[in-house]
Chain A
Amino acid sequence: MNLQIIKKRKIWYIISSTLILISIISLILFGLKPSIDFTGGTLMELKLSDKVYQTVDISTGNTFANFLNANIANNSTGTITVQKTQDNYFILRFKEISQEDRTKLIEALKEKVDPDIVETKFESIGPTLGKELQKNTTTAIIISVIAIIIYIAFAFKQVSYPIKSWKYGTIGIIALIHDILITIGVFSLLGKFLNVEVDSLFITALLTILGYSINDTIVIYDRIRENLRRTNGNFEDIVNNSLNETMARSINTTITTLLSLIAVFLFGGDSIKMFALALIVGITLGAYSSIFVASPLLVDLYNFENRKKISQKK
């Protein structure tokens, strides 16, 4: 079995370009929904008992939010948004509040919503901390990208034929940008339509994707450079053969990783569900891009350079 991956590369380019385009458009139109990690604010998870007063409509997050904003919200909380997570579990989000206001709020909830209400989780982040995380995030991403570029340059320093080592690196980075951009795009859409927020764990996922998907690309490039040394022939065929030889590995590795992530996504609990999803999306894209983007681009780059050389000779 020998798949003609390189020959059909136009299809892959179209798929990838479309996904990137959608991601960019979504990012421009909707942006991302930052969590309180970045903006500062309060997140309060409540568990309601079966003693909820009849007058309170808790059938959806929105109806509950309407009730809260009419009866409970005050200057210290600002507008409260509510998300229903499971039966009887609600996540409330509002401005950062002081300890006294928090106690008052719980008392008000007990009085007006449910005498047996339980606050299962509470987090309040000051605005300075949010800004700081934004800054740290940017720094971490920049450092990661630089570290990976250095690493690639180092890993490919012996491979100089027929393409210079830094060019392998550049294409590897392009593939990474592809993975990250589409993952962010997916979360931009999830934020718009399912209110999924982007928190510090999402950044963790992005960085992990950076580390993991370059891995796939490196394994394939390793095989290409090995085959270049061992066999003679057309560059395009060598790349295609290398892809076919590493295909089983790429697929199996990706699947085992995805299986463990799917277990986390399905059974690991609400707080890390979206983290697992970001990794699932990113790692799938990483595997896809190593095979269907990074390698075909290598061939195109080779062809482009050779055509240039040929035309120069003429």
Chain B
Amino acid sequence: MAKKLNEKQKLNITLILIGILTVITVLITIPKGPNIKIGNTVKDIKLHLGLDLKGGTHLVYQADTSNIQESDKLTAVEGVKDVIERRINAFGVSEPLVQTSKVDNNYRVIVELPGVTDTQKAIQMIGETPLLEFKEPNTNTEQILTDQQKKEMEEYNADAQKRANNILEKIKNGDKFEDLVKQYSEDEYTKENNGEMGKVYEDNIYFKDLVDEALQTKDNGTPWKVIENIEGYNIIKRISAGEDKKIEAYHILICYKGATSCDSTLSEAEAKSKIEALKNQLDIDTNTDKKDLFIKLAKENSTEPNANTTGGYLGWFAEGDMIKEFNDAAFSLKDGEISDIVKTEYGYHLIYKSGEKQVKYADIERILIKKKTEADYINTNQWVNTKLSGAQLKSASVMFDNLTGAPQVNIEFNDEGKKLFADITTRNVGKQVAIFLDGQLISQPVVNEPITEGKAVITGKFTLEEAKQLAMRLNSGALPVSITLINQQTIGPTLGQDSLNKSFIAAIIGFALVAVYMLIFYRFSGFIADITLGIYVLINISLYKIIPITLTLSGIAGFILSIGMAVDANILIFERTKEELKSGQSLKNAIQIGFKRAWSSIRDGNLTTLIICFILYQFGTSSIKGFGLTLAIGVLTSMFSAITITRTFMLELADTKLEKHQKLWIK
């Protein structure tokens, strides 16, 4: 009696344990289940989805290790991995995966970037070694073009002239000037505006050639000639021509707080009384030359930038060139006269008119075909390379400028770099040196004194983010070996989501089909098997979340397949139980013998599948690995669930009144 009770107790304990297990797995399985907290480490419990289910980029790089000693290869590839990892971290990808793999003698780095579908950007980020260059001024100022450059320039210009002539031909043939502007003109400023340059005066030095030509033509229209000027080859069209009055003038500006582009702290009233005082001074003083006094006062008082050197000189201007109030006052003056106080949006002005003249103008449109000049070639050589580069960098960090608080990047050179940098700075005291990043000039500090401690600061117009990124990229340094991309895969986010939805549906339908089938064929036992199958699914999902296992499409297929295979153990057991029942055993005995007899078949059968799963897992590629892994987990858990859980349920229930309805248990 005692022994029997004992057995029953054991069964009860197992049942309670199963209950606890079920509750735990349900908690883990439900979305946003509790996170595990051990001390300060929190383990995030969630399903990890592979790239094919959430979209992203998968890249495989082959490292060129041919120049490296066999023993150092692994270190070099690990180095590549570290560099890539750092670059990706700077890129801000969540849960990136970077791993190395060795196949035969090929060393590879596999990069998985979930959620990144801009592959181009990713590849750039990973493959890009930040190119940091230090340059010094070109001391060879008397540059002469090389023969090669000269030839290149001549050829280019000859071609440009030919193109210009062709355009002229087109106009002769009746093509519309404005259409040709849009198509061919290389003048960025007028290209989108029919080539309209507005009124160009004959005293304009820059466009003198164009105006002269335009004015020589009798009528409006195109002079049939390609006009060469310093920019290149022009084809023009005269819209109108005429003559305007231009005047030459000086002014004094006193601006006040709130006026346009004014730095002054004067109030409007203060500014007004100041300009009135100046006006008075000019009116009263009759001894000195008015012009000289005006210029002197402008230099001393005008709030216009650079007034202390220009003396308020405005040059020659035509009607309408200045804002209305100023224009009206200036054009009503006689030569040598000073205006009343004029108020504009900029503040209070006094104007001195020093001269006037009639100037011819032409209103023209043009098509410009640019030519190259020697400056185009020489300019690029303003800086010359030094031997110092990012390769001699020891470390880089983000700092803030003491005065402005602007982010900057501090760099420290290694010993070789320290020496080179000292040489460069010694050579260039009082001059500028230039720092180029990826071919772009980012900073050109003036060297105040030789720098021998091997430290430098890169100030550019960085945002904090840019400064951080630059420092990180500089720190990550150059790759120890070169890498080539041999495999890339991008899954769009919609496709990933679509696949996820579909496999979810397939899993539910697969489960439902299996469950219904078991119910039909094994009745009550089938129902118990279905409950077990439900717990089996919960255990599996919990394991995926805890271990964690990254689910891929093929991994889910493996899981669904394992649902179908998991009931195999139950089927084996039920069939055995049926046989025992036929031979006259009691239900409870039949169940127990059934479980015992079926065990060897269950074990043998599952072992072969496990062997194959193991081989698949060794295989390598992620989709195959995923399948092998989920199938193996499925097989292992099914051995536990189908035997322990089903057995406990069946024996517990066989002890109740249900025992009498044998037909209900098994067909």
Contact = CB atoms under 8 A, between A and B. Distances in A.
A207 B616 contact: yes
Interface centre among B486, B518, B565 (most CB of A within 10 A): B486
Contacts of B510: 259-264
Interface centre among B485, B487, B499, B505 (most CB of A within 10 A): B487
Contact of A215 (B487, B560, B609): B609
Given A121-B490, A257-B564, A262-B513, A268 B506 contact: yes
A305 interface: no
Nearest to B623: A201
Contact of B608 (A151, A261, A268): A151
A64 interface: no
A203 to B, nearest CB: 8
B487 A129 contact: yes
Contacts of B609: 208, 211-212, 215
A222 B620 CA distance: 34
A194 B490 CA distance: 26
A128 interface: yes
Contacts of B605: 215-216, 218-219
Given A211-B611, A249-B575, A267-B506, A103 B627 contact: no
B103 interface: yes
A99 B128 CA distance: 14
B601 to A, nearest CB: 5
B599 to A, nearest CB: 11
The range of chain A's interface size is 35 or more
B616 A128 contact: no
B441 interface: no
B236 interface: no
A279 B488 contact: no
Given A122-B489, A147-B611, A155-B604, A257 B568 contact: yes
A252 B521 contact: yes
B487 A126 contact: yes
Nearest to B605: A215
Nearest to A220: B601
Contacts of B52: 271
Contact of B571 (A125, A214, A256): A256
A258 interface: yes
A218 B572 CA distance: 13
Given A118-B492, A200-B621, A128 B518 contact: no
Contacts of B575: 246, 248-249, 252
Interface residues of B, number: 72
B491 interface: yes
A218 to B, nearest CB: 5
A129 B568 CA distance: 38
Contacts of A128: 62, 106, 486
B502 A143 contact: no
A120 B518 contact: no
B627 A204 contact: yes
Interface string B136-170: 00000000000000000000000000000000000
Contacts of A260: 510-511, 513-514, 560-561, 563-565
Contact of A275 (B518, B557, B571, B610): B557
B97 interface: no
Interface string B498-527: 110011011101110110011001000000
Main secondary structure of the interface of B (DSSP, over half): helix
Contacts of A214: 608
Interface in B555-595: 556-557, 560-561, 563-565, 567-568, 571-572, 575, 579
Interface string A94-128: 00000100110000000000000011111111101
A267 B502 contact: yes
A213 to B, nearest CB: 9
Contacts of A119: 490, 492
B564 A261 contact: yes
Interface string B544-561: 000000000110110011
Given A103-B120, A256-B517, A276-B557, A123 B488 contact: yes
Interface string B5-33: 00000000000000000000000000000
Interface centre among A124, A148, A263, A275 (most CB of B within 10 A): A263
Nearest to A125: B487
B513 A264 contact: no
Contact of A264 (B120, B123, B561, B615): B561
B500 to A, nearest CB: 9
Contacts of A272: 503, 553-554, 557
Contacts of B62: 126, 128
Contacts of A103: 120
A99 B123 contact: yes
Nearest to A199: B623
A148 B611 contact: yes
A259 B554 contact: no
Contacts of B513: 259-260, 262-263
Contacts of B485: 99
Interface stretch (A20-28, A48-56, A66-74, A132-140): A132-140
Contacts of B564: 256-261
Interface string B104-143: 1010000000000001100100000000000000000000
Interface centre among B502, B579, B612 (most CB of A within 10 A): B612
B494 A120 contact: yes
Nearest to A203: B624
Contact of A269 (B498, B604, B613): B498
B486 to A, nearest CB: 4
A204 B499 contact: no
A255 interface: yes
A147 B615 contact: yes
Given A207-B612, A208-B609, A261-B510, 15 more contacts: A120-B491, A121-B495, A129-B60, A140-B616, A210-B612, A211-B608, A218-B605, A252-B575, A258-B564, A259-B514, A260-B514, A261-B561, A263-B507, A263-B513, A272-B553
9 contacts: A47-B494, A128-B106, A136-B620, A252-B571, A261-B560, A263-B560, A264-B557, A269-B499, A271-B52
